[in-house]
A and B are shown apart, each in its own frame.
Chain A
Amino acid sequence: MALPDSGPSARGLLRFLTCGSVDDGKSSLIGRLLFEARAIMDDQMAKLDRDSRKHGTTGAAPDLALLVDGLQAEREQGITIDVAYRFFGTPRRKFIVADTPGHEQYTRNMATGASTADLAIILVDARKRLLPQTFRHSRIAALLGIRHVVLAVNKMDLVGYDQAVFEAIRAAYAPLAQGLGFRSVESIPVSALNGCNIAGAPASTMPWYQGVTLLPYLETVDITPAAPGPFRMPVQHVIRVAPDFRGYAGTIAGGTVAPGDSVVVLPSGRASRVGRIVTMAGDLPRAGAGQAVTLTLADDVDIARGDLLASAESPPEFADQLAADLVWMAETPLLPGRRYLLRVGTSETGVAITALKHEIDIATGEPRAARALAMNAIGRVTLGLDRAIPFDPYESCRETGGFILIDRESGDVLAAGMIRHALRRASNIAWQGFSVDRAARARLKGHQGAAIWFTGLSGSGKSTLADRLDRALVREGCHTYVLDGDNIRHGLNRDLGFTEADRVENIRRVAEVARLFVDAGLIVIVSFISPFRADRAMARSLFEPGRFFEVFVDTPLEECERRDPKGLYAKARAGKLPNFTGIDQPYEPPETPELRIMTGELSPEAGAERLLGLLRGGGILP
């Protein structure tokens, strides 16, 4: 057997899945395929003969089904309890067979086997026609993205090799297959037991069948996807070699890549170009889906495991709320609200199932209301992620749309999921315009973006200081903007009152607006009482280190009350203004602000100068 390892005649690889129950003769079919491909060795055959006498169900003939049974326990029970992988080959293709059981654990095991399979053999017992399990198996195959199906109508020997039986089954299956969107469906009448229509020419027992037999079909079926899709590569590992080699190792999940291609790094959104495709056998001019490669980039960008490299022309979607189908695999049921870890590609993110929309009846495909998902159930859920992730819908790319849910404590895999679409696309646009990055904006403006956050009591002098700083910066040619508490409350936040909850929301919105402006390259001056440490910490957390300057405008309450420029303290003392900071609501002074300005000791102009010095020292101003 001469097997060329490369070139157009190189041997290919087909991964397929066999679905059916023990009673359908599934193990016999696989055993027969192995036998026909001469994958069973003499000593295995001798062992089979011994085992057949002990456990077999075929009398004197060797029970080929026993070849594919694994664990001692299941051999004794006569059932398979897990996914087993078999291997055989012909000069044209190597085959990896995922053999999954048809009994009560079928959904979980079948989904596992199907996740890497290109094709499914759906086995039907000719005597029993289409059973509910035929629908289940077909539906799970479709759900997991299998596009090619062989309907193997087995045990034809037990129906007298009757063409009418086969045709009736084939006709009954057609509408189901069409509804599930398979790209190809091949129906073949077989007898695994007698080896009819498994390999070679069509069997003489069924002269009415002149189609292709099973093994030749598996050798030739075209499984190349209709379109290769855009480039995707989850970064597995960063390879560094002193002094300056930095490569990003990963398996290409979709599309192709070549040196010079524009790529975007997600979630950061940084853009760059592919430098080299490095392998031990030399650099490659191009690489495609399924290849494990190491890429270098033209620019010095910060990339870590979990990041996704993607085509800049066709980037993936980006969202933190997703609709997905889940196959629940754990004994403890899914309960909405629980928190898990979600792994897609090489990234892990905290996630909560925020809603269980419905369970999917696998036999009928119909949705039905559900409050929990038990093991082997399938449901449509809403995922709320801790942060937005890049993804593709599962039907576009299995590797960037398929995920597992992991239990935080045991590390167990609880579910497999397929992302269908984003529910909130707001952040979808976040990557847009990232081709103009922060460095480019800074060059244009002549300074970095930053937020100066003034906090202090009402009347402490925040607005005055903000105004002086603003003027001083503009004099220096800086691009600035002032976000003032009173002004914002007239517009963006006019729906908010002064309860604690509203104050929190007030700060959150202002902080988000400030962040956008800083992203745009501005120096943003925020002048807000912002009395609570937790809220200021939240605001700070939105910014990169060194981009947020907390300035405590420290004026004693008595002095503020004495100034009372807007007459608010008087109103509050009179009980006409509830929830007033300093009077009936506390002010929590900053513990470690970037700067503390005592207005009693420093003029506003001098304060502004101190601030300019701070910004120069922090690298914001040149």
Chain B
Amino acid sequence: MSTRRAMAEDSAPVSDLDLLEAESIHILREVAAQFANPVLLYSIGKDSSVLLHLAMKAFYPAPPPFPLLHVDTGWKFREMIAFRDRRARELGLRLLVHINPEGLARGINPLDHGSALHTDIMKTQGLRQALDAHRFDAAIGGARRDEEAVRAKERVFSLRAPGHGWEPRRQRPELWRLYNGRMAQGETMRVFPLSNWTELDVWRYIAREGIPVVPLYFARPRPVVERNGLLLMVDDDRLRIGPEEIVRERMVRFRTLGCYPLTGAIVSEAATLEAIIAEMAESRSSERQGRAIDHDQSGSMEKKKREGYF
């Protein structure tokens, strides 16, 4: 509430977080106004938590005028799924969950098929299926420009050709606060309200607003095994521990959350928001370092985006 008072006295947003919040709310309202059937892609992570909080603010006292969609892979941390269902219930929002049924039938998994194939089939193809099935014309995502070099050039309203592919050359100039949602037949839009946020902004905002996040972000003793340079948490018995591997209890937390066999933990003592923010200010490695998928090929984010990844 101290923020509100400061704003009121100066009659303008005073802090960078106020301005980022206002920009994101503006974008969410543009989506509601310009599209017939938008959806918010809820991936359960901290960025999704911030996005959801902003959506609650943008339309207050009404609920957000769009449902949440989670594209599940069957390999998310159990705590993520529990958190997802609890939040949707608490906020009274409609939550759609989609798992690629063909991928499921074929038993696609990150352990046998590798991160690239698993991600393509369960995430990219799964997302495309869900968007097509519900005929969503706009999908709101929590991606940020600071995550990756290719994302730095991404628009807030990112036009996707029929089939969801991203054509860098077809992206439209975005000026002022004018976001253009007009599309030709078959085209869809991906919208990124958190484009101008950094990881540190996200955590400072979570702390300021008291936004609930999955407990996996906070350090705790967890059973982990070291594999391919990543510290993997043994979230269930599907991980198949090799004869050379040793499962150890270590004080770890996660900077990003995805499929548990693909998401590396970091050794950390940061068990509170304040400690996380302090750790991040001192951190010397970037957020997506723990994501196996980014390192499979050089320039791999651009490739994935062209194929319809977020």
Residues on A facing B (Cβ under 8 Å) = 1, 3-8, 10-13, 41-44, 68-72, 75, 82-87, 89, 93-94, 96, 108-109, 111-112, 115-116, 228, 236-237, 239-241, 245, 247, 249-251, 256, 278-282, 284-292, 294, 305, 329, 341, 343, 346, 398-399, 402-404, 406, 409-413, 416
Contact = CB atoms under 8 A, between A and B. Distances in A.
Interface of B: 1-8, 10-23, 25-26, 29-30, 32-33, 56-62, 145-146, 149-150, 152-153, 168, 171-178, 180, 182-184, 187, 195-196, 198, 200-201, 204, 208, 278, 281, 283-286, 289, 299, 302
B286 A402 contact: no
B280 to A, nearest CB: 9
The main secondary structure of chain B at its interface with chain A is helix
A180 B153 CA distance: 30
A239 B61 contact: yes
A96 B11 contact: no
17 contacts: A1-B281, A7-B2, A10-B15, A12-B14, A13-B15, A41-B283, A70-B152, A84-B153, A87-B198, A287-B11, A289-B12, A290-B12, A305-B33, A341-B182, A402-B178, A404-B180, A411-B184
B47 to A, nearest CB: 15
Contacts of B3: 5-6, 281
B3 to A, nearest CB: 4
Sort A-B residue pairs by CB-CB distance and give the 8 closest, nearest first. A411-B182, A288-B12, A10-B15, A292-B25, A115-B175, A288-B11, A1-B281, A6-B3
A412 to B, nearest CB: 6
B183 A411 contact: yes
Given A292-B26, A292-B29, A411-B183, A10 B153 contact: no
Contact of B153 (A1, A83, A409, A412): A83
Given A6-B3, A12-B15, A289-B12, A413 B60 contact: no
B62 to A, nearest CB: 5
Given A250-B29, A256-B11, A343-B178, 6 more contacts: A6-B3, A89-B16, A108-B173, A237-B29, A245-B61, A411-B180
A284 B178 contact: no
Contacts of A93: 16
Contacts, number: 206
Contact of A112 (B149, B175, B284): B175
A85 B302 contact: no
A85 B33 contact: no
Given A84-B153, A85-B152, A402 B11 contact: no
B13 A288 contact: yes
A341 B178 CA distance: 13
Given A70-B152, A71-B168, A237-B29, A294 B180 contact: no
Nearest to A285: B8
Contacts of A3: 204
Contacts of B168: 71, 82
Residue from A108, A245, A410 having most chain B Cβ neighbours under 10 A: A410
Given A11-B15, A87-B196, A115-B175, A343 B146 contact: no
Given A236-B33, A292-B26, A112 B174 contact: yes
Residue from B25, B26, B173, B195 having most chain A Cβ neighbours under 10 A: B173
A288 B10 contact: yes
A286 B60 CA distance: 18
B146 A87 contact: yes
The main secondary structure of chain A at its interface with chain B is mixed
Nearest to B170: A412
Contacts of A402: 175-176, 178
Contacts of A109: 173
A398 B176 CA distance: 8
A7 to B, nearest CB: 5
A92 B204 CA distance: 15
Contact of A280 (B57, B152, B286): B57
Contact of A237 (B33, B174, B200): B33
A212 B2 CA distance: 34
A43 B176 contact: no
Residue from A3, A292, A403 having most chain B Cβ neighbours under 10 A: A292
Contacts of B30: 236
B175 A416 contact: yes
A69 B152 CA distance: 9
A399 B1 contact: no
Nearest to B187: A411
B26 A251 contact: yes
B153 A70 contact: yes
Contacts of B284: 41-42
A90 B183 CA distance: 40
Nearest to B282: A1
Contacts of B16: 10-13, 89, 93-94
Contact of A404 (B5, B22, B178): B178
A229 B274 CA distance: 39
A236 B60 contact: no
B196 A85 contact: yes
Nearest to A403: B178
A291 B12 contact: yes
B145 A85 contact: yes
A402 B175 CA distance: 9
Given A84-B152, A239-B59, A290-B19, A10 B178 contact: no
Contacts of B4: 279, 281-282, 284
A1 B198 CA distance: 15
Contacts of A305: 33
Contacts of B204: 3, 5
A278 to B, nearest CB: 7
Contact of B1 (A240, A247, A282): A282
Contacts of B1: 281-282
A404 B175 contact: yes
Residue from B2, B57, B60, B149 having most chain A Cβ neighbours under 10 A: B149
B61 A89 contact: no
A93 B281 CA distance: 14
Contacts of B13: 288, 290-291
Contact of A115 (B146, B176, B283): B176
Given A249-B59, A410-B184, A291 B176 contact: no
Nearest to A294: B60
A112 B174 CA distance: 6
Nearest to A258: B11
A399 B173 contact: no
Contacts of A292: 21-23, 25-26, 29, 58
A413 B173 contact: yes
Contacts of B200: 89
B284 to A, nearest CB: 4
A236 B26 contact: yes
A304 to B, nearest CB: 10
Contact of B8 (A284, A398, A412, A416): A284
A1 to B, nearest CB: 4
A1 B281 CA distance: 6
B6 A71 contact: no
Contacts of B32: 237
A434 B60 CA distance: 31
Contacts of A343: 178, 180
B296 to A, nearest CB: 14
Nearest to A251: B26
A221 to B, nearest CB: 15
Contacts of A329: 173
Contacts of A240: 62
Given A288-B12, A290-B22, A329-B173, A70 B149 contact: yes
Nearest to A245: B61
Contacts of A115: 175-176
A83 B86 CA distance: 40
